Amino acid sequence: MNALLEIEDLRVTFDTRYGEVTALDSVSMHVNEGETLGVVGESGCGKSITALSVMGLIPQPPGKIAGGAIRLAGEDLTKAGPARLRSLRGAEAAMIFQEPMTSLNPVFTVGDQIAEAIMLHQKVSADQAFRDAVALLDRVGIPSPDKRARDFPHQLSGGMRQRVMIAMAVSCRPKVLIADEPTTALDVTVQAQIFDLLNEIQRDFGAAIILITHDMGAISEMADRVAVMYAGRVIEQGSADDVLDFPQHPYTRGLIDCIPALGRDDHRLAEIPGVVPPLHLLGDGCAFAARCAHCEARCETEKPVLAAHGHHPAACHAVEEGRI
């Protein structure tokens, strides 16, 4: 199957007070039509920078796409100009941001904001766009959509605001929908409703979804395939079943062990020791070396390459050498 969206050897850098820092280092992943790709990792691993790169929203300067390609339906977005990227955003690729309260304009009603997104890409009148906005609010499960369309963002609950963001994102039926931590700060019941809604929209519209999250539980619920990121690199990638059932990289194993499980004799939560290192302090070796129980001398001096081991690719010397 041909990839609808393909990211190949993407490298993104930022100018900082420490000099040029690499935020994404040779990142490659793809997603097919009607498929959900889960991108998982801790805060600061590069998930959101990957999404912003796809959407053409990296601030330039200080950011820069220093290498690689992002192909949407065969078109390389890294070579597209600002006008072309504006025409693609919303129509071909759309993004659901993790904080709807900061993404929605507080001085316009939610109906007007959805209608504006519709009019940007479709030749319809303002009245028709507003009627379409009301229909979308109804489609995403907001009660009394006629009334809610005239409400301001602060008048809605967190779950409703996230549904508004989803309605806005799918208003022009994009081919690719990027959901960046779409259930942040929502309670468990509302999280489940949002995931169900995304599944329904995918079935109805045939969109490819990139789900960005730090929650392996969400990955098991939603994803067909998984890319695990750490310190700006993809360190494991494969089908959701393979990665969850046969995790290879010690970091992936740590993320899965952090999931609370009913029936565990030891009720203490597992943790991954240490923190993600600052990007400007990364050396020549494995970025996970300081936190890894399987670290040896080679790990501190040689960066592992993402390569097939067992069920799927992983970037780990210990896996390559059969030590784990």
CA distance linking residue 198 with residue 13, whole number of Å? 32
Residue 194's pLDDT is: 83
d(CA 222, CA 193): 12
Written as six digits, the tokens of 244 are 């969850």
Q: 35-46 burial, b for 16+ CB within 10 Å, e for fewer?
A: bbbbbbbbebbb
DSSP string, 253-273: HHHHHTS--TT-S--SPP---
Residue 1: per-residue pLDDT: 57
Q: How far is CA 291 from CA 42, 190, 216, 250, 286, in A?
A: 13, 34, 19, 9, 10
pLDDT at 262: 57
Residue-level pLDDT at 274: 86
DSSP-derived pairing of the beta strands 225-230 and 233-239: antiparallel
| pLDDT at site 265 | 59
Whole-number pLDDT of residue 185 = 67
Task: Give the pLDDT score at 204.
Answer: 84
Q: Point out the residues of the chain with pLDDT beneath 50.
A: none
Contact 250, 288 (CB under 8 A): yes
SS3 19: strand
**CA nearest to 64, candidates 28, 18, 27, 10:** 10
Q: What is the reported pLDDT for 261?
A: 67
What residue spans define the domains of the chain?
5-92+174-237
Q: Which CATH number fits domain 5-92+174-237: 3.90.79.10, 1.10.10.10, 3.30.565.10, 3.40.50.300?
A: 3.40.50.300
Sheet holding 63-72, edge to edge: 19-31, 5-16, 63-72, 75-76
Alpha carbon 38 to its chain centroid, in Å, reads 7
Taking every pair of Cα atoms in the chain, the longest distance, rounded to a whole number of angstroms, is 67
pLDDT of residue 196: 86
- What is the per-residue pLDDT across 190-201, written as a single tens digit (0 to 9) for each? 788 888 888 888
- Three-class SS state of 43: coil
- Distance, in Å, from the CA atom of 136 to the CA atom of 41, rounded to the nearest integer, reads 32
Q: pLDDT per residue over 77-125, tens digit each?
A: 999 999 999 888 888 899 988 777 778 899 999 999 999 989 988 888 9
pLDDT at 19: 92
